[in-house]
Every structure is written in structure tokens, then in C-alpha cells.
């Protein structure tokens, strides 16, 4: 193992890939030694001296640990872009978040952020539609979108699933999606569900005069089948497909992104399973990295958390994810382990707040996120005492009140659905 990777005087090149890590050395291993092994293992080196690593090659490709703060347990590493297949998320992750997470010289190691160079950004298309494209689909420019997930997650047959979606649309939802574990089960086959639900979405459009979008889950055992399902949606006139990004894997997601462009479909990214490696603040990969990879690859909208709902995620973390979704340039924030990122013109993603939301939370959601968010409800719509349609209407009413700066209590005096929702969910 070479010992010259600690290079505090190094000034990263514009073409370097920059990574920030949280690092905790094992007992008996000093901080610089742990950082050296991590940098070497993620690039050109091995656990012992290797004769095949010439000085010339090492000088050209060696990583540079240009920042090391032992007290904060933080290091930043600059990697030459020549180490990477620039358009391959799997290859990049295999390097900077691969074997290094298993090294004995560290008790904990977490990839906090990656700053992508302009040369790497050029290898990716980013979102095909993104935030503004989705707004154009739906025909709504000046407010958050309201969405729901058909509940229960699984168990409904295709006809009942489509009925629940219709009631959601009729009550005021802009978007209705499948849940993450509904794909092509025997009680609710993919093709029948898609056909019936899209037909009732059209019916709701004609009745309400609003555009209605159904996000059908195309997650499948193989890329070939996933693409086939997406083309089924295209032939049925859909505008959207949904995919479970972590279980499907980055190769599948990059493949689907290419095929979705050919099909003219937007992609909704469900992040289920991400907490397997993002939730531990000391080890794994941050959700910030996942969000940035989603924008890089080109997904159009992404779950980021809610702050006020049931899912894990502190406010600062969720807002950092929001920023990576929507901003053209994200400034560095050392306290939050966020690196400077210029997105180089890649379109913004539409952030989705989802998980344990009720209509009573809409004022807080609007205060936190502003208008550029999809507020997505499950039980907060379908558990409404007057039924699904009324639950969707209550959400629209709560949003109208928030946009007008009126309290929910005052607005509910003339809006029965909201009044009933407040009775069920408002804390006494």
C-alpha cells in the first residue's frame, strides 16, 4: 500500500470526481492510515505492495486525500476521471462505495456526497421531462400537485384497484400511483390493471376537466420484461411509468431511462429499500448521493421524505434532497456534508413528499417545500370517514386554504370534506 495518498496541498482539477467520506478507524489504526487504505482500495491499490503498480501509473491515477479532519471524522478525496467509466453509475459506485465499506481498518465508513465534474455530467442526459415537463403534462403551473397511492398496498383485484384510482382522481388528485410492492401478482395482473386504471383516468379527466396521471409500477425480474411493460403503458396511452429504483438496480435504471425516452414516458422513482444503506449516519451511503444519482441518470421525480410524516428524515436532510432535485447550482454546506455541485443545465427533478401524510399537514408541507413539490397521500386519503373521493377533495381544500393563507379551521366551515378530515386527524 502506497503512503502518498494524503495530499493536503492538492487542489482538485475541474475534471476530478470529489467524494466526501465519514470515516471511523478500527482500534489500533490511526486516522491517516485508514484514509490511505480507503483511498487506495477505492482506486488503484491493494492491501499489500504490488509490483504491477508502476510509479508512472501511480502518479497518473493515484487518489488525493486533499482534506482530512480527524476531529470531524471527515475526509475528501479527489479521483482522476480516468479511473471511471464516465457514463456508468454501477462502475462509479463499485469504486467509491464498493469494497471500501467492508475494510477491517475501519469500523464505519459512509459516502456522504459526490461532486460530479462537468465532463461526467456530459455523459448523462438527466431527466427527460423533469419538474417543468411534469407540470406541462398535468397542466398545473402555480401550485403543488396532489397525489395518492392506491391502498391497500396489495390485495385488491384490478377492477377494485381501478375504482379506487378513479375515486381519487374524481376527488381531486392529479396523480395516482401503485405502491412499491405491487407489480404483476396473480390477483392484480399488470396489463389488466394498467388498462382498466388508465381508462378510468380518462373518464375522470372528462368529468373534471383536469389532467389525470396514473403511475403504474413496471419493476420486473429482468430489464427485458421491465421494458416490455413500459411499452404496454405506451400503447395504452400512458404518460408515466414508476420503478423501484433500489431493488431494480442502477444498470436497470439506466437502461429504463434510455427506453423511456423512446417511449415518451416520464419516470417516477420510488426509493423503497434505500434505508438499508442510507439510514445509518456513520456507515453506508447517504440518501443525498442516491438523489444526485437519480438526477444524473435522468429520473423525473423522486421521493425525498416529508419532515412531518411517518418516514425517517430530519428537516435539514429532506431540504438538502429538495435542493439537489430542483436547483441549478447547489452551494457547499460543510455542516451538512454537502459539496458544491453545478448541475450544468440538467433539468430539475420533481420532489415527492410521501409517507404518513394527512390533509391536516398540508399547511406545514407548503411552508416547508413551497409550490414545487408533489404531496402524496395514502391513508390520509383512503381513511377519510366519507371515503376516498372525499379524502382527495379534503386534500385539495386544504391546499386551497394554504394557497390563500386561510387557516384550515376557517376554510373548513364551508367545506365539509375538510371539516371531517380535521375531526379525524387534527390533534386535539
Q: Which residue has the cell 396514473?
A: 214
Q: How far is CA 418 from CA 15, 27, 391, 399, 411, in A?
A: 53, 58, 8, 10, 8
Beta pairing partners, 176: 148, 214
Q: How far is CA 52 from CA 32, 57, 98, 99, 139, in A?
A: 24, 9, 22, 20, 60
Instruction: In whole angstroms, give the CA distance from residue 236 to residue 199.
Output: 9
Contact 365, 308 (CB under 8 A): yes
Q: 383-400 burial, b for 16+ CB within 10 Å, e for fewer?
A: bbeebbbbbbbbbbbbbb
Q: Following DSSP, what letter does each residue of 164-221 receive, concatenated?
A: HHHHHHHHT-SEEE--TT-SSBTTB-HHHHHHHHHHHHHHHHHHHSS--EEE-B---S
Q: Following DSSP, what letter does each residue of 239-300 receive, concatenated?
A: SEEEEEHHHH-HHHHHHHHHHHHHHT-EEEEE-TTTHHHHS-TTSEE-HHHHHHHHHHHT-S
Helix, coil or strand: residue 140: coil
Contact 290, 340 (CB under 8 A): no
Instruction: In whole angstroms, give the CA distance from residue 282 to residue 223.
Output: 33
* DSSP assigned state of 82: G
Q: What is the pLDDT of residue 428?
A: 45
Instruction: In whole angstroms, give the CA distance from residue 73 to residue 58.
Output: 26
Instruction: In whole angstroms, give the CA distance from residue 227 to residue 252.
Output: 10
For residue 72, is it left (φ>0), alpha (ψ between -120 and 50) or beta? alpha
Q: What is the pLDDT of residue 426?
A: 86
Instruction: In whole angstroms, give the CA distance from residue 183 to residue 397.
Output: 32
Q: Is 270 a catalytic residue?
A: yes
| Residue of 62, 151, 161, 303 marked active site | 151
Cα–chain center distance at 239: 19
Number of H helices, E strands in the chain: 18, 15
Strands 145-149 and 106-115: unpaired
Q: What is the pLDDT of residue 425?
A: 94
What are the cell numbers at 139? 397542466
Going residue by residue through the chain (428 aa), what tens digit of pLDDT does each one get? 677 899 998 999 999 999 999 999 999 999 999 999 999 999 978 766 766 777 777 778 899 999 999 999 999 999 999 999 999 999 999 999 999 999 999 999 999 999 999 999 999 999 999 999 999 999 999 999 999 999 999 999 999 999 999 999 999 999 999 999 999 999 999 999 999 999 999 999 999 999 999 999 999 999 999 999 999 999 999 999 999 999 999 999 999 999 999 999 999 999 999 999 999 999 999 999 999 999 999 999 999 988 875 555 578 899 999 999 999 999 999 999 999 999 999 999 999 998 889 999 999 999 999 999 999 999 999 999 999 999 999 999 999 999 999 999 999 999 999 999 999 998 74
Strands 266-270 and 240-244: parallel
| Residue of 22, 212, 268, 270 marked active site | 270
- N-to-C CA span, the chain: 63
Q: What is the pLDDT of residue 79?
A: 97
Contact 84, 95 (CB under 8 A): yes
Helix, coil or strand: residue 146: strand
Around 399, how many Cα atoms within 13 Å sit in the side-chain half-sphere?
24
Q: Is 22 a catalytic residue?
A: no
Amino acid at each position: 500500500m502506497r503512503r502518498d495518498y494524503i495530499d493536503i496541498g492538492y487542489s482538485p482539477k475541474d475534471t476530478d470526481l470529489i467524494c466526501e467520506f465519514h470515516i471511523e478507524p478500527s482500534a489500533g489504526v490511526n486516522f491517516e492510515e485508514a484514509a490511505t487504505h480507503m483511498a487506495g482500495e477505492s482506486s488503484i491499490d491493494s492491501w499489500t505492495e504490488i509490483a504491477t503498480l508502476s510509479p508512472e501509473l501511480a502518479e497518473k491515477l493515484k487518489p488525493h486525500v486533499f482534506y482530512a479532519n480527524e476531529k470531524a471524522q471527515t475526509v475528501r478525496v479527489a479521483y482522476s476521471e480516468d479511473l471511471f467509466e464516465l457514463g456508468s453509475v454501477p462502475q462509479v459506485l463499485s469504486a467509491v462505495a464498493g469494497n471500501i465499506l467492508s475494510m477491517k481498518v475501519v469500523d464505519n465508513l459512509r459516502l456522504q456526497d459526490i461532486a460530479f465534474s462537468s465532463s461526467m455530467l456530459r455523459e448523462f442526459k438527466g431527466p427527460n421531462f423533469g419538474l417543468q415537463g411534469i407540470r406541462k403534462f398535468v397542466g398545473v403551473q402555480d401550485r403543488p400537485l396532489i397525489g395518492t397511492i392506491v391502498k391497500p398496498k396489495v390485495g385488491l383485484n384490478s377492477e377494485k384497484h381501478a375504482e379506487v384510482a378513479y375515486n381519487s382522481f374524481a376527488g381531486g388528485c392529479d396523480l395516482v400511483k401503485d405502491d412499491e410492492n405491487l407489480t404483476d401478482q396473480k390477483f392484480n395482473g399488470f396489463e389488466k390493471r394498467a388498462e382498466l386504471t388508465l381508462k378510468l383516468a380518462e373518464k375522470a379527466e372528462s368529468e373534471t376537466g383536469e389532467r389525470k396521471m396514473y403511475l403504474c409500477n413496471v419493476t420486473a425480474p429482468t430489464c427485458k420484461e421491465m421494458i416490455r411493460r413500459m411499452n404496454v403503458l405506451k400503447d395504452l396511452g400512458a404518460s408515466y411509468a414508476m420503478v423501484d429504483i433500489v431493488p431494480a438496480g442502477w444498470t436497470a435504471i439506466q437502461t429504463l431511462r434510455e427506453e423511456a425516452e423512446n417511449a415518451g414516458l416520464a419516470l417516477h422513482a420510488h426509493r423503497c429499500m434505500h434505508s438499508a444503506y442510507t439510514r445509518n449516519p456513520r456507515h453506508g451511503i447517504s440518501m443525498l448521493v442516491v438523489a444526485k444519482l437519480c438526477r444524473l441518470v435522468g429520473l423525473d421525480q423522486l421521493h425525498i421524505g416529508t419532515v412531518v410524516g411517518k418516514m425517517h428524515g430530519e428537516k435539514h436532510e429532506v431540504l438538502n434532497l429538495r435542493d439537489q432535485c430542483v436547483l441549478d447550482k447547489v452551494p457547499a454546506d460543510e455542516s451538512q456534508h454537502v459539496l458544491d455541485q453545478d448541475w450544468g443545465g440538467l433539468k430539475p427533478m420533481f420532489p415527492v413528499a410521501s409517507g404518513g401524510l394527512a390533509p391536516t399537514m398540508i399547511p406545514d408541507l407548503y411552508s416547508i417545500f413551497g409550490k414545487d413539490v408533489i404531496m402524496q397521500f395514502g391513508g390520509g386519503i383512503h381513511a377519510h370517514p366519507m371515503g376516498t373521493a372525499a379524502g382527495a377533495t379534503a386534500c385539495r381544500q386544504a391546499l386551497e386554504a394554504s394557497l390563500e393563507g386561510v387557516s384550515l379551521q376557517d376554510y373548513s366551515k364551508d367545506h365539509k370534506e375538510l371539516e371531517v378530515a380535521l375531526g379525524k386527524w387534527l390533534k386535539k
